[in-house]
Amino acid sequence: MTIPQTPMLYGAFGAYLLAVLMYLSHLVLRRPWVWRSAFVLVLAGFAVQSVFLAMRWATAGYLPVTNLFATQFFFSWALAATYLYFELRYRIHAAGLFVMFCNLLLLGSALPRDPALPPLIPALDTPLFTLHVSLSFIGYAFFAMAFSMGVLYLVQKRLQTGLLPDLQLLRKLNEEAVFLGFSIFTLCMIFGSIWAYVAWGYYFSWNIKGVWSALVWIFYAGMCHAKFIRRWQGSGYALLSIAGFGVVLFTYLGIGLLMSSNHPLE
């Protein structure tokens, strides 16, 4: 199957870029047609990305998430899916701007990279790998959404603007994003552990990637408890969401690019 890689990639990027610009306009104009257009553009970009991902999966015979381009692309797809979930469920409109901006950066930085599909090495040829990697990026996407909601909560608390959802909704969205991210990341860790056991003979690795993945899990497990403590709700929870995403970013990009680990990105 020949995949029109360049038009599809740039098409999705263009749709997201226009969507971000429309959401920015919505902050100024406050017209329903503006956010509706932006939402349609996100839907269009997500549809193109989904078809592109499906075509690459069918061509390769495995879910292509084995190098930096492929993981950035999948992460971007998961971010768009997460945004659509919150938009359809809560009509967050421009409050999702930050996530879409992150998505734009992620997809934009993937564009110059080689999208070629490498042959799959036998060690990665297992459904456990597919489940482990896909669930990890979907979990990361929810953590990115929690980060975004945390930032907006702090901005809204300071500015008290009508442009953003009220504090109660932002807090609820943050908690939901953390909860969903933690649940999905737990499944990712379970499948990863089983895979590690059949591939290496142990289910927990003291490699830095394994240690930091466990840290991400413990950190967000703590956050799932923190929401039940009044003093930690609101600003404290928002700050924790921001710090947590820092840990996530280092686990994905910092370790993958700067350090030698058993999860290389290049």
Partner 1 sequence: MLKTILDSKTWKLLCSLKLTIVLASAVTLITIGGSVLIPFNPKVFAGMDSMPLGLWVEKVAVQTPGMTWWVPVAGILVVLLGVNTLCCFVDWVCHFRARWRKCGEYLIHIGFILLLTAYLWGSHAGFRSENNAMLVGQSKRLPQLGVTLKLENFKPVLAPSGRPMEMLNTLALYRGNELLKRVETRSNHPLTWGGLVAIPISYGQTARGGRYVPYSILTINYDPGVKLAFAGSLAMGCGVFLTLFSFYRKRKRGDHPDIV
Total interface residues for partner 1 by CB under 8 A: 46
266 binds partner 1 (CB under 8 A): no
H/E/C letters for each residue in the chain? CCCCHHHHHHHHHHHHHHHHHHHHHHHHHCCHHHHHHHHHHHHHHHHHHHHHHHHHHHHHCCCCCCCHHHHHHHHHHHHHHHHHHHHHHHCCHHHHHHHHHHHHHHHHHHCCCCCCCCCCCHHHCCHHHHHHHHHHHHHHHHHHHHHHHHHHHHHHHHHCCCCCCCHHHHHHHHHHHHHHHHHHHHHHHHHHHHHHHHHHCCCCCCCHHHHHHHHHHHHHHHHHHHCCCHHHCCHHHHHHHHHHHHHHHHHHHHHHHHCCCCCCCC
Q: Given candidates 40, 233, 249, 253, which one binds partner 1 under the rule CB under 8 A?
A: 233
CB of 19 to partner 1, least distance (A): 28
Q: Give the interface segment with partner 1, choosing from 3-11, 57-65, 107-115, 186-194 (CB under 8 A).
A: 186-194
Q: Given candidates 2, 161, 168, 260, which one binds partner 1 under the rule CB under 8 A?
A: 260
Q: Please give the residues from 104 up to 163 whose contact with partner 1 meets the rule CB under 8 A.
A: 122-123, 125-126, 128
Q: Give the interface segment with partner 1, choosing from 37-45, 67-75, 154-162, 211-219 (CB under 8 A).
A: 211-219
Q: Given candidates 57, 60, 232, 265, which one binds partner 1 under the rule CB under 8 A?
A: 232
Q: Give the interface segment with partner 1, choosing from 50-58, 76-84, 143-151, 227-235 (CB under 8 A).
A: 227-235
Residues forming the site for partner 1 (CB under 8 A): 122-123, 125-126, 128, 179-180, 183, 186-187, 190, 193-195, 197-208, 211-212, 214-215, 218-219, 221-222, 225-230, 232-233, 247, 259-261
